A = this chain, B = another copy of it.
Amino acid sequence: MTKVIILGGGFGGVFTAKHLKKIAPPDTDIRLISENNYFTFQPLLPEVAAGAIGASDSVTPLRVLLPGVRTVMGEVRAIDLARKNVDIVQGSKRRIKTMTYDHLVLALGQVVHLSRVPGLEEHAFPIKHSAHALRLRNHVINCLEYADSVDDPQIKARLLTFVVVGAGFSGVETVGEIKDMIDRSLKFYPNIAKADVRTVLVEFSDRILGELPEKLANYAQERLARQGIDVWLNTAVKSASATTVEMADGRILTSSTVVATIGNGPSPLIEALDIEKERGRLKVDRFMRIPGVDGAWAVGDAALIPLTDTPEGPRDYAPPTAQFAVREGQQLAANVAAQISGAPLKAFHYVPRGAMASIGNYRAVASTMGVQLHGVLAWLLWRTFYLGMLPGAVTKLRVVLNWALDLFAPRNLGQVQEVKKPSAKYMRFSEGQEVFEPGMIPDGFYTIVSGSCRLEIPRDDGGAPYRRDLKVGDHFGERVLFRQQLRTGRVTALEDSRVLRVQRDDFWRLSSSFPMLEKYFKNYIAENFPEDLRPHVLGGTERDTKTPPKS
């Protein structure tokens, strides 16, 4: 039985899995591991952000999409290309689970990297996942709600200025959809005039929609202008803050909303791999194999796939678009199947069918098979095309119904709120219950609010375990600050107890920017733990449990 593990549930991963299931020998064990249990149809996210369709209409559960494929919702912690296995972690019990493979398909896509422009990472809204789209939607509605009742004209102007950075497909569609939603909703906001709203699309290059023929891009730009959207070309964003976006040329926009559709980079897992990369993408051959690594393949945005071979090496590469990822996945599946059966592999080759962009207000631009279209007809084509790509009849039907409703009904302005809760969480443990145990992923820092707990750490030399009884006001889990390792201690409630858990990331951020706290913990660990239980960075000799025993 051949084991194939596919990492990532985007276009590349899903189409690899789907096609492989069809053509691979029936006893092939195909697993797809993804952080989410669903596939996100990214081209529809601007419509989710604008409330034209519901958030769940842009996602399809992977299990429903991929019958016969074993889908595993989990977080990949490590990839061991030499031993051919993958470490994953699932939400319950938070222990590392190791899975071995014969073939590994890296389809991890790209992640949003905004750190190059100061302030964008802190304040911009990305739009890559459905959660991003929902958050943006809630935020835009918040701005309208507050602008409707705020007295200060400066704050009102700030709330009603919406900036989208990057005029590729995603940026153009997002700015068009948001403007459309706002225009259609203003009748419900008696204190906001149409002229109060400002939308700006900022683009670094000298034109929008670089992937499309210039004529269409010009048409699109004109339509955006007619919709009342400012398009700033040849404009670089220099920095952003909670209330401003500053351009390199000195212009400053006062705005509460910056959407960033720029800045992609490799996922941290790809970055950590000791494999040649170029522009943050994994170098593969024309068969999508990773050279020199047995059984390793890459597909989609994570891979740099050559389209041609010249004596000087490849010149053209597959662009990181959904259209290409779908074809790549199909070809990769065929190649993995061929490899399993000993057949020859085929180089990836694809001539794109065309490109389309929706620009809001029932308009789109399209260029396909030598024909260029724009306006309402192109928009209908766009919708039909994406509908065809949407997986599953029910999802298709849902989206069509939503679109139909959207034609004559007001946009749904009801927010889909997240639960507002402090991230520091109180937890209760009954007498004898375990808070955590050795081998778990450290989840945070704990203080005891009531009751008492016992900390026990087994020793490597088989000696008596380190033991410490903790009472109200005492804390545990503080060593997570200084190490990447799994828990080595066990904490048990000695009586019915209430503890406060501060999430690991929050605790790390606070401690590392608040020197007093870091110093306190360093002293605490030095004074309270023997040398063999002190983290390396604090001069201890604690054993490294980063790589857990493989099964």
Contacts and interface: CB of A to CB of B under 8 A. Distances in A.
Q: Which of A74, A146, A433 neighbours the largest number of chain B CB atoms within 10 Å of its CB?
A: A146
A91 B401 contact: no
A151 to B, nearest CB: 8
Contacts of A92: 142-143, 146, 150, 155, 158-159, 256
B132 A64 contact: no
Contacts of A509: 422, 424, 426, 500
B412 A145 contact: no
A429 interface: yes
Counting every copy of the chain, the complex holds 2
Interface residues of A, number: 102
Contacts of A520: 516
A397 interface: yes
A430 B122 contact: no
A515 interface: yes
B428 A119 contact: yes
A416 B55 contact: yes
A149 B60 contact: no
A129 interface: yes
A36 B394 contact: no
A409 interface: yes
Interface SS of chain A = mixed
B141 A430 contact: no
Interface in A122-180: 122-123, 129-132, 134-135, 141-143, 145-146, 149-152, 155, 158-159
A324 interface: no
Nearest to A409: B394
Contacts of A73: 142, 145-146, 149
A466 interface: no
Given A91-B142, A188-B64, A149 B415 contact: no
B132 A419 contact: yes
Contacts of A449: 513
A538 interface: no
A10 B118 CA distance: 43
For the complex of A and B, the 3 pairs showing the least CB-CB separation, nearest first, are: A423-B423, A38-B414, A59-B414
8 contacts: A38-B415, A63-B188, A73-B149, A241-B428, A426-B509, A447-B510, A475-B514, A500-B510
